[in-house]
Amino acid sequence: MLYIIGLGLGDENDITLRGLQAVKECQKIYLEYYTSLLGVDPTKLSDLYDREITIADRDSVELEADEILKHAKDGNSAAFLVVGDPLCATTHTDLILRAKEQNINVQVIHNASVMGAVASCGLQLYNYGQTISIPFFTANWKPDSFYDKIKYNRNGGMHTLCLLDIKVKEPDYEALSLGKKRTLPPRFMTVNQAVEQLLYIEEQRNERAYTSDSLCVGLARLGRSDQKIVAGTLGQLQSIDFGAPLHSLIIAGDVHVVEKEMLAQYYI
């Protein structure tokens, strides 16, 4: 049996009773640790579970799926732990499909995801259009495919959730050129960086999908005790310090009365 278990958003205590029970049944436990991050050190998890945990980064999930699945065969059970929900922001379809090919039973144990927790700001989940991901721009690579999605959402009155880029285990090419294999420290896009990139693309495209006066909401560390939510114009959010990662951004569409009432507590 392969359990794919959502850990929720905060710390080790956000696992469900069902999730904890499943972990305790498993001989081998992997923690997916590349697309999102918990508010605590993984050792807190091993302490709670009283089990060793293997950290699985992007390479090991994609390249060593068979190694993971080996532990879920022949009457054994393995757990694959995912921050948030296993199927929402990150979708572990590849691992699920491979498991099914090998006739391994898969059980998904759901939990809270950032894609639901954004409702905390008062903009109702019903009224969101498609979600976009904003990647870190480089000197030569400034993709803007998200622009048309925001435009379509806003023309239909819908809000847009922007998930912000995370770079973990990037190769350090400078070190590599000196013959050293090294990775760069992880990078997490801030609300400020996202705003800067959005305004840059609006300037290029100039179709007024949004402007620096558009109502937006910046969110940081959702679901944790120190979560921060600030509503204001896109321009205003550019200079707000949201603190430690993870950050997300919402570009509002039409805002209804009841949404306004909830949002009011978060205005700059």
The residues binding its own copies (CB under 8 A) are: 6, 8-10, 12-18, 20-21, 85, 87-89, 91, 93, 96-97, 100, 108, 110-113, 115-117, 119-120, 122, 124-133, 152-153, 156, 158, 223, 258, 261-262, 265
Q: Which lies closer to its own copies via its Cβ, residue 15 or residue 238?
A: 15
Distances (CA, A) of 161 to 53, 124, 250: 32, 11, 5
Q: What angle do CA 77, 79, 83 make, to 5 degrees?
A: 170
Q: Which is nearer to its own copies, 93 or 183 (CB)?
A: 93
Query: What is the nearest approach in angstroms of its own copies to the Cβ of residue 216?
Result: 19
What minimum distance in Å lies between the beta carbon of 54 and its own copies? 22
| Smallest distance from its own copies to CB 152, Å | 5
Nearest distance in Å: CB 25, its own copies: 13
Q: Is 133 annotated as a binding residue?
A: no
Question: Which is nearer to its own copies, 37 or 87 (by Cβ)?
Answer: 87
CA angle 117, 87, 36 (to 5 degrees): 65
Q: Is 113 annotated as contributing to ligand binding? A: yes
Q: Which is nearer to its own copies, 88 or 184 (CB)?
A: 88
Minimum distance from residue 119 beta carbon to its own copies (Å): 4
Contact 45, 93 (CB under 8 A): no
Does 23 count as an annotated binding residue? no
CB closer to its own copies, 31 vs 236 = 31
Whether a cis peptide bond, with omega within 30° of 0, leads into 246 is yes
Question: Which long-range contacts does 252-258 make (Cβ < 8 Å, 24+ apart)?
Answer: 252/123, 252/159, 252/214, 252/215, 252/216, 252/217, 253/127, 253/129, 253/153, 253/154, 253/156, 253/157, 253/158, 253/159, 253/160, 254/127, 254/157, 254/158, 255/123, 255/215, 256/124, 256/127, 258/124
The answer to whether 256 is annotated as binding is: no
Question: What's the half-sphere exposure (Cβ side, CA atoms, 13 Å) at 151?
Answer: 13
Which residues sit in the known binding site?
A: 9, 85, 113-114, 164, 222, 247
Which residues sit in the known binding site for S-adenosyl-L-methionine?
A: 9, 85, 113-114, 164, 222, 247
